[in-house]
A and B are shown apart, each in its own frame.
Chain A
């Protein structure tokens, strides 16, 4: 069987995964996903932690079998022809999946051999990858001596060894500093521009998805709840701006929230959001023209005894789409 001539490099149909808890209760981690990833695009799977992104990646990379549905990579079934499908893909897992006591070069050479590369060809390919990840000068150092960002780059390098048509990157910027994050995002863009790779990128960071993606799939509770280009997705949000008022109190009553909607022109609704990390509280007001509604919103807040500490006006983005679709912020 040869690779499909379809513009979709990845075709996912009815894919699902059900686990059983220790007590035997079934848990649906991924539910009936249909998805096409087009050749040469960067597709981001955006969703909060635990949404099912990694499980989806694990199934379409052949690591765990789906309990329902099927995925084809370049026309090869990941279930029935896993070896052929795996040769077309490179995987960059979320964790640093490297041998810490071996050098960067030793790691790359070993994983290269898993793709049947050897001898001069292997050495040359490892040199190329070291150039891409910008670690040639540290190639003989043990990975355990590297910074988090450098480890991430080696982690990505392993995924590039076999010059894959498709590369899965599962939250590759988790836990690293802004400088290394920037470098990794640039590498992802380079993979598409220079090496014409198709990238499936998972993240819970809206900014990354917006910056990188040609198309975005939003996943929550194991389901794709929205999928399309960013323009298509923004249409779903409408023209709503968000007024984000940081407030200095633990909650806002429903009565006050309703007042924002009924007393200020153009306001669609208002919600109160508590950040679970720092317990800060924000009052989010959805308005058709945010800047116009801002003075009235602040006045109403004062009247209601809500102390506002800072104000921000945001135009429609993926975050607001997620909020609109789920009623929750992405980081929740």
Chain B
């Protein structure tokens, strides 16, 4: 009971400071939004993402229309510009007149994945089964480039159009030899078309708004909410090391220890208040994310357990810090240093899976508590995992917390 009262008193003291509301609520809330921007902004990670492909159709024939139709069917993420543009200007064309030069420029600026030119005569070539060249242009590719599936899309559509044309030509030849109805071949074409209605092969291509690596990478608020939360948990909990020092400095710790209160109860009370503040900090960050429509997976219990394990781990670190520091300035400086080092290193500011993160940094990051908790959040929020998925993360955080508390308890000396 005394532990609880010590914790409540600590919270009361924290609340009585005018800067509490600013640093406990306002700053992290703002940072959640700010940090979301470079990580993909306000886009809904679950919303469909289109790949823009500019099309210059100089043929305007039924065959070219069919080609484009089959491309759409083969790849649902494909946005053919300017043909599929709408009032929201999904193609991003604005008022500009669409020309080959514009398409080239758009590709160069990275506003499209490529452009396709269908020269005049394409329809006749298809019907006549004569060699013909389409133009597909994209920028030099990387191993994870999105152009590869686009090219597959074009080829798949071309195969279909060619197959249809072949069927029609076959019918033409057949009925020319048999002196049949000249409309027959057209009917064969349409029948063949209907046979292709169910798409046997589709190109499935998914792209995240952030930058295109894979769908397991957190985006926008999926990254900034747990990232900011973790960082501010460190901020508020590591400050606990200074609180112990302050209590000693202002004599309140000594006074409490002359009362029927054990040293263990005193420390436990102080740590409990930090755990509560840490959980509040997580709640603030996650509440802000909710306001912006962020979804946190389907296992809230696992989410809370993961948060708690991280807060516990950082509390152990704070207590250990309290046994090392000799002054308030030293404590604050060390806490700030740890926060500003562990947060980016462990992936609180950006995903460790991003391309520009060097492999050795990724390895180091995954050895930090922030790395473990962010990995856990990723499993729950992005991959929609459950408690089983994050048990290793929770386990290692709790184990490390235990080790840190044990070392800190050993080192703690209350003798003046």
Contacts and interface: CB of A to CB of B under 8 A. Distances in A.
Nearest to A97: B251
Interface in A62-85: 62-65, 82-83
Given A63-B416, A93-B251, A101-B17, A110 B257 contact: no
A91 to B, nearest CB: 4
B416 A114 contact: no
A99 B13 contact: yes
Interface residues of A, number: 31
B12 interface: yes
Interface string A286-322: 0000000000000000000000000000000000000
Secondary structure dominating the interface of A = loop
B169 to A, nearest CB: 90
A158 interface: yes
Contacts of A98: 250, 252
Interface residues of B, number: 23
A86 B252 contact: no
Interface stretch (B46-54, B258-266, B298-306, B403-411): B258-266
B254 A63 contact: yes
A308 B238 CA distance: 63
A65 B5 CA distance: 26
A62 B261 CA distance: 11
Interface string B80-98: 0000000000000000000
Contacts of B1: 116
B256 to A, nearest CB: 6
A86 B258 contact: yes
Contact of B255 (A64, A91, A115): A91
Contact of A114 (B254, B256, B414): B256
A98 B9 CA distance: 12
Contacts of A97: 250-252, 254-255
Contact of B251 (A61, A64, A95): A95
A261 interface: no
Given A101-B17, A102-B13, A102-B16, A114 B250 contact: no
Interface string B1-42: 110010001001100110000000000000000000000000
A183 interface: no
B415 interface: yes
Interface string A216-234: 0000000000000000000
Contacts of A106: 12
A269 interface: no
B15 to A, nearest CB: 9
Contacts of A14: none
Nearest to A142: B16
Contacts of B250: 95-100
B260 A87 contact: yes
A93 B259 contact: no
A57 to B, nearest CB: 9
Contacts of B251: 93, 95-97
A113 interface: yes
A262 to B, nearest CB: 50
Contacts of A65: 415
Q: Which of B12, B16, B258, B416 has the most CB of A within 10 A?
A: B258
B5 A58 contact: no
B116 to A, nearest CB: 69
Contacts of B5: 110, 113-114
A91 B252 CA distance: 12
B260 A83 contact: yes
Contacts of A63: 254, 257-258, 416
A146 interface: no
A89 interface: yes
A70 to B, nearest CB: 17
Interface of A: 58, 61-65, 82-83, 86-87, 89, 91, 93, 95-102, 106, 110-111, 113-116, 142, 158, 162
What 4 A-B pairs have minimum CB-CB distances, sorted nearest first? A97-B251, A101-B16, A97-B255, A91-B258
22 contacts: A61-B258, A62-B258, A63-B257, A63-B416, A83-B260, A86-B260, A87-B260, A91-B258, A91-B259, A93-B254, A93-B255, A100-B250, A101-B13, A102-B9, A102-B12, A102-B16, A110-B5, A110-B9, A113-B5, A115-B260, A116-B2, A162-B259
